[in-house]
Chain A
Amino acid sequence: MTMTMALPSRSRPFWPAMLRGMLWAFLFAMGVLVLYPLLWMALGGFKSNSQIFSDPFALPASWSLENYLAGWRATRGYMLSSLLVTLVSTLTTVMISAWTAFGLTRTAIPGKPLVVGFILGGMMLSPTVALVPLVRMLQDLGIYDSHAALILLYTAFRVPFTTFLIRAYMLDLPRDLDEAAMMDGASPGQIFRKVILPLCQPILISCVVLHILFAWNEYLFAMIFTNSPGVQTLPVGLTSMMSKQGTNFAAVFAAMTISALPIVIIFFLTQRYFIRGLTQGIGK
């Protein structure tokens, strides 16, 4: 199932022995360059504040969980907001996109090229440009500083990309199955639910993972359109925690680690789907 398995096996080494040692050293050095800062962050969460200053390179003097507990207490509320916004917007985005992609590939909507252009064209528009008018719009709707605002915006700005991925997948699906279902008198709704959606499972999973990654990490909208602690998500919470208790670096390190951990775990668990989603997104 994975892409690597489909590869023809490499019968002979690509890199000559002489070069191989150097390349391994290089890859290893890059690995250290990537992992060491992250490790430093996670270890910093165990250190005391004074040790962070006196001895930045050392291992923690004592493995106390105190900072992690403090970090957890400080980020718990934000974590809940992030969870809510991420889950709901993932659901709405993927559902709306699958529904739309079906319409774009399997029905006779009038002016289809225009509709396709309009929805996929949304991918080109940057959130930065919409910021100023959105303030007034969200205030007029009465959802400024609410989870609903973030859910709506995350959905609206990600439907184009998600539809693009699912549509590409649906275009490649063989038509025989839905033709057969149609001959049997199934309605478009039934074909969507019973034939197409189950076939699209792989791409739907990629889309879910990609959206979780986006929503969990989004900062621009969350920073500008929310200001109460009960509504703010993790990325915003971290920066405000930083300005509130900026002197307690150890707790900030712990909080950073806590907020990065779930997404790294999700990445490792879903790597396979995730890579497929990325490939289809850009590589097609």
Chain B
Amino acid sequence: MAQSATRIRTGRAPGAPHPIGQPLAALWSMRWVAVALGIVGWFVYYPILNNFLVSTTQQDIFTGEVTQVGLENYRRLASDPVVATAMWNNTAYALLSILFQVFGAFWLAAIIEGLQSDRWRAIWRAVYFIPSAISTTVTGLLFYFIYQPQIGILDGLMTGMGLGHLSRVWLGDSTTAIYAIIAMSQWQGFGYSTLLFSVAIQKIPQELFDAARMDGAGPLRQIWAITLPMTREMTGMMIIVTVTGAFQVFNEVMVMTAGGPNNSSQVLGTWLFEQGFNQNDMGYAAAIGSLVFGVTMLCGVAQLWYTRRRRVEA
């Protein structure tokens, strides 16, 4: 592999030197990546760098007035109670998603992959995945209706099970709103991670399980001693991806509560939107953006570190 890589260092046949010469040829080969560099640089990197500049200003999108305020927006960020709520909500999102979409999905995948019928394994994987293919706008609206007291089915179900006294206006109650949204998100997302775990489990050599069985290990012991350690990489990656996702969450909160009631279900994304696009406080919104950047960067670095360590181990 490495040998052939060094053999093809240049994309040019040995017998056909480029007419313009080597340095120019190298520059000319940049054409392959120029479009990507341009569009990613312009629309991904540049705005994110720019976000830091905007975060030190106070500006009005209507009058276009811009004042330099230094770190004022960040000071506000540190003392804003809604930012604290949002941070907690994002954290709760991350923790519950790890519980259901990483550990729960692992067990579900282990159960499915232990089935004998190829067909049923494929069916369960596909059925559980369906909600992940649908947009969060649709699932968010759907659960908005499900949680409604008059038309929703949740309260009806709870009454049917004799739990009617526990029911409430799930999205209108500041103690339950964010958890109702998180619950929807687990419903939507668990099939996606189950599918990924299934694929990881399928890659484990069957001989390992056979050998364990010879030694008299039962199914739970096999999952514990073989499946779990053999999918550790996937688990690690999934935790990082899940946490990153949890700090970028926006759609479902926007669609279901828009952060209400009383900002109790705000997350960083929706609070950024509220400040920047409803209150027109772009400077402060950019500061919230920097906070999101900080958290996702940490996750990104963790991911890089994790992948690199894995490669070294392998």
28 contacts between A and B (CB under 8 A): A8-B206, A14-B222, A15-B114, A16-B219, A27-B111, A34-B131, A107-B11, A108-B26, A124-B297, A126-B244, A127-B248, A128-B292, A130-B44, A130-B48, A132-B51, A133-B48, A133-B54, A134-B43, A175-B4, A175-B7, A219-B251, A219-B255, A223-B254, A235-B136, A238-B137, A242-B141, A260-B134, A278-B192
Instruction: Please determine whether A35 and B127 come into contact, CB atoms closer than 8 angstroms.
Output: yes
Query: Which A residues lie within 8 Å of B293 (CB)?
Result: 125-126, 129
- B313 located at the interface, meaning its Cβ lies under 8 Å from any Cβ of chain A in the complex: no
Given A23-B111, A156-B44, A219-B137, A109-B127 contact (CB < 8 Å): no
Name the residue of chain A whose CB is nearest to the CB of B41: A118
- B91 located at the interface, meaning its Cβ lies under 8 Å from any Cβ of chain A in the complex: no
CB-CB contacts below 8 Å: A228-257 with B: 234-236, 238-239, 242, 249, 252-253, 256
Instruction: Please determine whether B289 and A160 come into contact, CB atoms closer than 8 angstroms.
Output: no
Query: Which A residues lie within 8 Å of B54 (CB)?
Result: 132-133
Please measure, in the bound complex, the distance between the C-alpha atom of A49 and the C-alpha atom of B33, giving whole angstroms: 55
**Contacting residue for B269 out of A26, A124, A128, A216, CB 8 A:** A128
Instruction: Please determine whether A109 and B30 come into contact, CB atoms closer than 8 angstroms.
Output: yes
Given A23-B111, A30-B128, A128-B292, A7-B202 contact (CB < 8 Å): yes
CB distance from B83 to the nearest CB of A (A): 14
Query: Which A residues lie within 8 Å of B234 (CB)?
Result: 282-283
Please measure, in the bound complex, the distance between the C-alpha atom of A163 and the C-alpha atom of B39, giving whole angstroms: 13
CB distance from B281 to the nearest CB of A (A): 10
CB distance from A257 to the nearest CB of B (A): 8
Number of A positions contacting B (CB below 8 A): 106
CB-CB contacts below 8 Å: B8-44 with A: 8-13, 15-16, 26-27, 29-33, 35-37, 39-44
Please measure, in the bound complex, the distance between the C-alpha atom of A235 and the C-alpha atom of B134, giving whole angstroms: 10
Instruction: Please determine whether A122 and B153 come into contact, CB atoms closer than 8 angstroms.
Output: no
Query: Which A residues lie within 8 Å of B15 (CB)?
Result: 183, 185
Please measure, in the bound complex, the distance between the C-alpha atom of A161 and the C-alpha atom of B240, giving whole angstroms: 16
Chain B interface SS verdict (over half): helix
Query: Which A residues lie within 8 Å of B16 (CB)?
Result: 185
- A217 located at the interface, meaning its Cβ lies under 8 Å from any Cβ of chain B in the complex: yes
Q: Which residues of A are at the interface with B, using a C-beta cutoff of 8 A?
A: 3-5, 7-8, 10, 12-16, 19, 23, 26-27, 30-31, 33-35, 37-38, 40-41, 44, 52-53, 56-57, 96-97, 99-100, 102-104, 106-110, 115, 118-119, 122, 124-135, 137, 152-153, 155-157, 159-160, 163, 175, 178-179, 182-183, 185-186, 188, 191, 213, 216-220, 223-224, 234-236, 238-239, 242, 249, 252-253, 256, 259-260, 263-264, 266-268, 271, 275, 278-279, 282-283
Query: Which B residues lie within 8 Å of A129 (CB)?
Result: 47-48, 51, 289-290, 292-293, 296
Please measure, in the bound complex, the distance between the C-alpha atom of A259 and the C-alpha atom of B272, giving whole angstroms: 28
Please measure, in the bound complex, the distance between the C-alpha atom of A128 and the C-alpha atom of B128, giving whole angstroms: 28
CB-CB contacts below 8 Å: B230-247 with A: 234, 237-238, 241, 244
Query: Which A residues lie within 8 Å of B269 (CB)?
Result: 128, 220
Instruction: Please determine whether A282 and B219 come into contact, CB atoms closer than 8 angstroms.
Output: no
CB distance from A56 to the nearest CB of B (A): 5
Given A109-B26, A235-B135, A179-B8 contact (CB < 8 Å): yes
Name the residue of chain A whose CB is nearest to the CB of B33: A103
**Which has the most chain A C-beta neighbours within 10 Å: B134, B192, B238, B241?**
B134
Instruction: Please determine whether A238 and B138 come into contact, CB atoms closer than 8 angstroms.
Output: yes
CB distance from B12 to the nearest CB of A (A): 7
Instruction: Please determine whether B8 and A119 come into contact, CB atoms closer than 8 angstroms.
Output: no
Instruction: Please determine whether B282 and A132 come into contact, CB atoms closer than 8 angstroms.
Output: yes
Please measure, in the bound complex, the distance between the C-alpha atom of A57 and the C-alpha atom of B155, giving whole angstroms: 11
Instruction: Please determine whether B10 and A10 come into contact, CB atoms closer than 8 angstroms.
Output: no
**Contacting residue for A188 out of B9, B29, B199, B303, CB 8 A:** B29
Number of B positions contacting A (CB below 8 A): 109
Query: Which A residues lie within 8 Å of B124 (CB)?
Result: 27, 31
- B63 located at the interface, meaning its Cβ lies under 8 Å from any Cβ of chain A in the complex: no
Please measure, in the bound complex, the distance between the C-alpha atom of A92 and the C-alpha atom of B140, giving whole angstroms: 30
Name the residue of chain A whose CB is nearest to the CB of B277: A224
Instruction: Please determine whether B289 and A128 come into contact, CB atoms closer than 8 angstroms.
Output: yes
Instruction: Please determine whether A157 and B285 come into contact, CB atoms closer than 8 angstroms.
Output: no
Please measure, in the bound complex, the distance between the C-alpha atom of A264 and the C-alpha atom of B139, giving whole angstroms: 13
Q: Which 6 A-B pairs have the closest CB atoms?
A: A103-B32, A217-B135, A124-B300, A156-B43, A14-B114, A235-B137
- B312 located at the interface, meaning its Cβ lies under 8 Å from any Cβ of chain A in the complex: no
Query: Which A residues lie within 8 Å of B262 (CB)?
Result: none
CB distance from B142 to the nearest CB of A (A): 5
- B276 located at the interface, meaning its Cβ lies under 8 Å from any Cβ of chain A in the complex: yes
Instruction: Please determine whether A104 and B33 come into contact, CB atoms closer than 8 angstroms.
Output: yes
**Which has the most chain B C-beta neighbours within 10 Å: A56, A118, A128, A131?**
A128
Please measure, in the bound complex, the distance between the C-alpha atom of A179 and the C-alpha atom of B4, giving whole angstroms: 10
